[in-house]
Amino acid sequence: MPHRGTAKAESELPVSDPASERTTLHRYAHRAAYDRETVNAILDEGLVCHVGLQTDRGYPVVIPLAYGRDGDIVYLHGSAASRLFRGARGPDIDIFMTVTFVDGLVVARSTYNTDINYRSVVIIGRALEVKDLEEKRRGLDLMVDHIIPGRSRDARPPTEKELRSTMLLKLPLGESSAKVRTGMPLDEEEDYDLDIWAGVIPFSTVTEPPQVDPALRVEIPTPDYVGRYRRPVATPVGEMVG
């Protein structure tokens, strides 16, 4: 049985150069995608990111945050009272943001080659606080619509007090890269003859019918964007394996 190598997969990746050494993949470099289209598609499908930073207390932290993308900027949302979130802002503070999807479990013929199909993005940069209230309002609306497209036009907008109690950071996508693995197991040549099952257990995100809040005081039809809610699905990037 012929070995399923990676040469064909590598030739199908988008051709683009890494933005910096900090976002250049060295381990499994053939899984890297540096083009903005791939990065944007993964970001637009995601809901939660994880942001890592070094605190003034002498140890690093990683916090989950809501986010939304607007062109070449990612907005990050948190409480203005959060000491950790306040530590992520500033022109001299580098933060590290990641978004990851698990698309399947790769069941190989050996434990060594057992793997995971995934898509991930990393962004490194310096996040600046959005202080202008109108820009903050637009950014928060964008984040709401990133989570539930169309919701900002129906929901009550935030009051000035609510805006001031919320911190919004904007992180440029200048230093970003994606890493993707798809496809079947890549086993050792001699293992293909073993009497052992191999394949992939696919993962997918499934939404269930919306549940009506029992506190609704009048009968309100379910909005179409709620009843038909689905996450955008990124177009697969080549057929990457290994």
**Tokens 């009497």 belong to residue:** 195
Tens-of-pLDDT digits for all 242 residues of the chain?
A: 444 544 333 335 454 778 788 888 777 788 888 899 999 999 999 999 999 998 777 888 899 999 999 999 999 988 888 877 778 887 788 999 999 999 999 999 999 999 999 999 999 999 999 999 999 999 999 999 999 999 999 999 999 999 999 999 999 999 999 999 999 999 999 999 999 999 999 999 889 999 999 999 889 999 999 999 998 876 544 444 44
What's the predicted TM-score (pTM) here? 0.86
Residue 78 CB neighbours (<10 A): 19
Write down all domains in the chain, each with its CATH number in brackets: 7-227 (2.30.110.10)
Question: DSSP letters of 55-97?
Answer: -TTSSEEEEEEEEEEETTEEEEEEETT-HHHHTTBSTT--EEE
Computed from CA positions of residues 97, 90, 66, 53, in that sequence, does the dihedral angle turn out positive or negative? positive
- By the 8 A CB rule, do 76 and 67 touch? yes
End-to-end CA distance of the chain: 17
What is the DSSP code string of 140-157? Answer: HHHHHHHHSTTGGGTSPP
Q: Are 235 and 9 in contact (CB under 8 A)?
A: no
Q: Report the C-alpha gap between 207 and 187 in whole angstroms.
A: 34
- Residues 122 and 177: beta-carbon distance below 8 Å: yes
Q: Which of 160, 154, 156, 144 is nearest to 77 (CA)?
A: 144
